[in-house]
Amino acid sequence: MTTVLTPASPLTAADRCDRCGAQAYLRVVLASGGELLFCAHHGRKFEPELKKIAVEIQDESGRLGGTAATATDDER
Ligand SMILES: [Zn+2]
């Protein structure tokens, strides 16, 4: 079972990718109770595998596009 949640506790600059040490944008909660952090790059790369083992994936990679989801473009 995999659920993509709205972040309860946002990832911060202090959260680092377990693979490369870049800022983490994905938090993966494992069925075992463990937790993994990935940058957007590695989050995407391992996503198919992660979906098999995760009970929860918190994906904040949308924030990478700056504030894309907010209004600025519409205001022009
Ligand atoms: Zn990484």
Question: How many angstroms does the Cα of residue 70 sit away from the middle of ligand 1?
Answer: 26
Q: Is the pLDDT assigned to residue 72 strictly greater than 70? A: no
pLDDT, position 23: 96
- Tokens representing 36? 């993994």
Q: Which residue has the higher pLDDT, 29 or 65?
A: 29
Question: How many angstroms does the Cα of residue 43 sit away from the middle of ligand 1?
Answer: 7
Mean pLDDT of the region 18-24 = 97
Question: How many angstroms does the Cα of residue 15 sit away from the middle of ligand 1?
Answer: 11
> Any idea which residue has 């040490």 for tokens?
21
For residues 32 and 72, what is the distance between their CA atoms, to the nearest angstrom? 42
